[in-house]
Structure 1
Amino acid sequence: MPTWHRTKEIWIHRHSKYGHLIDRYWWATLDLLRLRKLKLKLGKRPLVAIILSEQMGDIIACEPVAREVRRRHPDGHIIWFVRRPYVELVAHHPDLDGYLIELCPGHREQLIHSGVFDHIYNLHLSHRKCKYCPDDPVNPNAERIGMHFDNYYDRGDLLYSFSQVAGLPPMTDDPKMYIPESVRQRVDTLPVPMAPDGSGPIVIHCQSSYAPRDWPAGNWHQLVQWLLDTHPYPVVEVGINPVVTIEHPRFRSFCGQLSLLETAEVIRRAHLFIGIDSGPAHMANAVGTDGVILLGRLFDFVNYLPYSGRYKRGEGVSILNNFDHPCAELPYSWVQRAVQQRLGQPKLV
């Protein structure tokens, strides 16, 4: 007989599942009504969907898709499907007319197959399921070209691969971030430390949403202490959870304190960005900040590069990868040497 604890887990799961399904069908119905009303107002103008709802780095890397879709549909009303935490990344794009908040892949599938859209550019790979919905999303373009979760990085960077998944030619453009003046003004009010010569700080990002991408906390502490001891630049940590706990007048953590676009603006002002493969590294690429990026084996991908544009061309970036080893095994000496090469001759402070 099942234990009380197991019975409780089953009923909690059922409650969550059916509650989610009710929300999914309710919001999909409302969204469909809004879209049909919008379509009537548009008249002959096409209603176009770009679908890439997560993750942060994927959305930033694939920003050029919005520009390409606008080129193809200059009179279209273009909407980007996005999960709520990432709305900022698309809300200010000049080539988009709006966005639609995706509740889950099942919600997305219901709208995709409604027939309301005239053109759909779906950048998602097949079989990325919701844990509650019965839908098994399939992207026909991805299936046609044989692009799956186990091989997409073998084909090229994120933009190069996902643009083909969307049915577009392979793209290699430089990504951009659109940061409104209001965000820049908010960052102006933050106590972001500056170097004596007026240049920006060194910005670090140490922890991703997937632990195998990360570099050990002890290495980050050693690197930050070395930077503070030998260079005049302040060091700022960004991200969600702080990793570095050093107390020093030229070190500051903004972890958990900034919005996505505020984080991008702090990175834009940086003298140098140092980070693991995660969303902020894509921000650095998109805002034109020089970087030192730490990579390592990811699943079965050994020699992969997530970035298009400037970082793919090797401009202003040092990309470190101890091939066939996880990022955690990247030697500290490699990182320190790469940072030193980017900063130039040490200046004792």
Structure 2
Amino acid sequence: MADWSRIQQLWTYRFHKYTHIIGKFWSAAIKYEQLRRLKQKLGSRQLVVIILSEQMGDIIACEPVAREVRRLHPDDHIIWMVRKPYAELVSHHPDLDGFLIEKCPGERVRLLRSGIFDKVYNMHISHRKCKYCLEDPINPISDGIGLNFDNYYDRGDLLYMFSQAAGLPAITADPKMYIPKSVQEKVQSLNLLPGPIVIHCQSSHIMRDWPAANWTKLVKWLLATYPYPIIEIGLTPTVTEEHPQFRNLCGQLSLLETAEVIRQARLFIGIDSGPAHMANAMETEGIILLGKLFDFVDYLPYSGRFKRGEGVTILNDYGHPCAELPYSWVQDAVQERLGQPKFV
């Protein structure tokens, strides 16, 4: 029975692998043809691509790259290559003419090798491969400045590093997000209580997280101490509190809807993740919980006002993971941001 299970797993993996590879070749061919036709329509205008296909926080942090590339190419056609789950982060940017969905890094390699783009600003570090494809993505510019996955957080914030990986001067601008009216209206229809405290408790990596028991304790204290509503955002809920002032919106919002909820908050409290970058871009006051991440101890992913220490409290018990961050530190930071409790 165990042997049959292993055989089944092997053939399931092979099925997914080969269907993915076939789909990659087909997808790359279709996109190449679409881009070729686009170039014919552009005439003398260049086709410029910005590449940073994931993750959420990286794309938000590196938004100023689009503005810089538009400054360098005022009349050219600029698109952003991005994975489908993150496309809405760039779809409304006023300095972009469009975006291109990336199926996987292997497809990206094939499109770059085709020479279809006149100018490439690739922010990816080398060797982040697709799990199915043989192609190994290489970025000679990031290699040339010695930027790799072992040292990138030691070199500066995400925007500072990745802009250089793209061959641009190190950029230090404040990131922005662009929320269309339709998204604002959708969030308005949720009838949220005004001036909430927004919390985000889980990231894509467990090493960034703070214990669920601490979040529950914090929410109970906030509800008992301050008159403000609390909203939890993210993919899956951490806090299971039954209270008229507490609302769970986990898994119910798009990325831009999440950003709009954060924009309306009086305070954002969260771990190092995409929503923390949203708070930075939306000019919302924040308390950010950091900790040791692999071998990175003293690091700060944020540019702009969070890097300048404006409107933010960064908590990091250096040398310890976020899970070991003392609860009292977070509570003290909240009191510093919100003032003394209004009632007990």
TM-score normalised over the length of structure 1: 0.97
Q: Which residue of structure 1 aligns with residue 84 of structure 2?
A: 84
Q: Does 1:118 align with 2:113?
A: no
* One-letter code aligned to 1:45: R
Give me the whole-angstrom Cα distance separating, in 1, the residues matched to 2:13 and 2:214.
Answer: 40
* One-letter code aligned to 1:324: G
Give me the whole-angstrom Cα distance separating, in 1, the residues matched to 2:196 and 2:4.
Answer: 55
Give me the whole-angstrom Cα distance separating, in 2, the residues matched to 1:225 and 1:14.
Answer: 49
Q: Which residue of structure 2 aligns with residue 98 of structure 1?
A: 98
Q: Which residue of structure 2 aligns with residue 261 of structure 1?
A: 256
Q: Which residue of structure 1 aligns with residue 157 of structure 2?
A: 157
Q: Does 1:180 align with 2:185?
A: no
* One-letter code aligned to 2:176: K
Q: Which residue of structure 2 aligns with residue 11 of structure 1?
A: 11
Q: Which residue of structure 2 aligns with residue 296 of structure 1?
A: 291
Compute the displacement of 1:9 (Å).
1.6
Give me the whole-angstrom Cα distance separating, in 2, the residues matched to 1:37 and 1:260.
Answer: 31
* One-letter code aligned to 2:242: E
Q: Does 1:168 align with 2:168?
A: yes
Compute the displacement of 1:206 (Å).
0.4
Give me the whole-angstrom Cα distance separating, in 1, the residues matched to 2:260 and 2:3.
Answer: 52
Counterpart secondary structure, 2:90:
helix
Counterpart secondary structure, 2:242:
coil
- 1:78-115 CA-to-partner distances (Å, cap 9, x unmatched) read 01000000011000000000000000000111111111
* One-letter code aligned to 1:313: R
* One-letter code aligned to 1:75: D
Aligned pair partner of 2:334 in 310, 327, 339: 339
Give me the whole-angstrom Cα distance separating, in 1, the residues matched to 2:71 and 2:260.
Answer: 27
Compute the displacement of 1:5 (Å).
1.8
Counterpart secondary structure, 2:185:
helix
Q: Which residue of structure 1 aligns with residue 136 of structure 2?
A: 136
Give me the whole-angstrom Cα distance separating, in 1, the residues matched to 2:166 and 2:295.
Answer: 24
Q: Does 1:238 align with 2:195?
A: no
* One-letter code aligned to 1:205: H
Give me the whole-angstrom Cα distance separating, in 2, the residues matched to 1:228 and 1:161.
Answer: 40
- 1:207-243 CA-to-partner distances (Å, cap 9, x unmatched) read 0111110000010011111111111111000000000
Counterpart secondary structure, 1:303:
coil
Counterpart secondary structure, 1:121:
strand
Q: Which residue of structure 2 aligns with residue 321 of structure 1?
A: 316
Tell me the C-alpha RMSD between the 2 structures.
0.8
Compute the displacement of 1:244 (Å).
0.5
Compute the displacement of 1:282 (Å).
0.2
Give me the whole-angstrom Cα distance separating, in 1, the residues matched to 2:333 and 2:277.
Answer: 19
* One-letter code aligned to 1:264: A
Compute the displacement of 1:4 (Å).
1.8
Q: Which residue of structure 2 aligns with residue 197 of structure 1?
A: none
- 1:144-168 CA-to-partner distances (Å, cap 9, x unmatched) read 0000001001000000000000000
Give me the whole-angstrom Cα distance separating, in 1, the residues matched to 2:8 and 2:317.
Answer: 46
Q: Does 1:192 align with 2:192?
A: yes
Q: After TM superposition, list the pairs within 5 Å mapping 1:196-275 onto structure 2.
A: 200-275=195-270
Aligned pair partner of 1:311 in 306, 310, 314: 306
Counterpart secondary structure, 1:325:
coil
Counterpart secondary structure, 1:175:
coil
Counterpart secondary structure, 1:130:
coil
* One-letter code aligned to 1:333: S
Identical pairs, percent? 69
Give me the whole-angstrom Cα distance separating, in 1, the residues matched to 2:304 and 2:138.
Answer: 29
Q: Which residue of structure 2 aligns with residue 34 of structure 1?
A: 34
Counterpart secondary structure, 2:114:
coil
Give me the whole-angstrom Cα distance separating, in 2, the residues matched to 1:249 and 1:10.
Answer: 50
Q: Which residue of structure 2 aligns with residue 46 of structure 1?
A: 46
Compute the displacement of 1:126 (Å).
0.3
Which stretches in structure 1 are left out of the alignment for 5+ residues? Answer: 195-199
List 4+ stretches of structure 1 deviating above 6 A. Answer: none
Give me the whole-angstrom Cα distance separating, in 2, the residues matched to 1:219 and 1:213.
Answer: 14
Q: Which residue of structure 2 aligns with residue 145 of structure 1?
A: 145
Give me the whole-angstrom Cα distance separating, in 2, the residues matched to 1:346 and 1:248.
Answer: 19
Aligned pair partner of 1:330 in 313, 325, 328: 325
* One-letter code aligned to 1:26: W
Counterpart secondary structure, 1:87:
helix
Counterpart secondary structure, 1:168:
coil
Q: Which residue of structure 2 aligns with residue 23 of structure 1?
A: 23
Compute the displacement of 1:13 (Å).
1.2
Which stretches in structure 2 are left out of the alignment for 5+ residues? Answer: none
* One-letter code aligned to 1:129: K
In the alignment of these two chains, the number of paired residues is 343
- 1:252-273 CA-to-partner distances (Å, cap 9, x unmatched) read 0100000100000000000000
Compute the displacement of 1:3 (Å).
1.9
Give me the whole-angstrom Cα distance separating, in 1, the residues matched to 2:6 and 2:214.
Answer: 42
Compute the displacement of 1:191 (Å).
2.9
Compute the displacement of 1:169 (Å).
0.5
TM-score normalised over the length of structure 2: 0.99
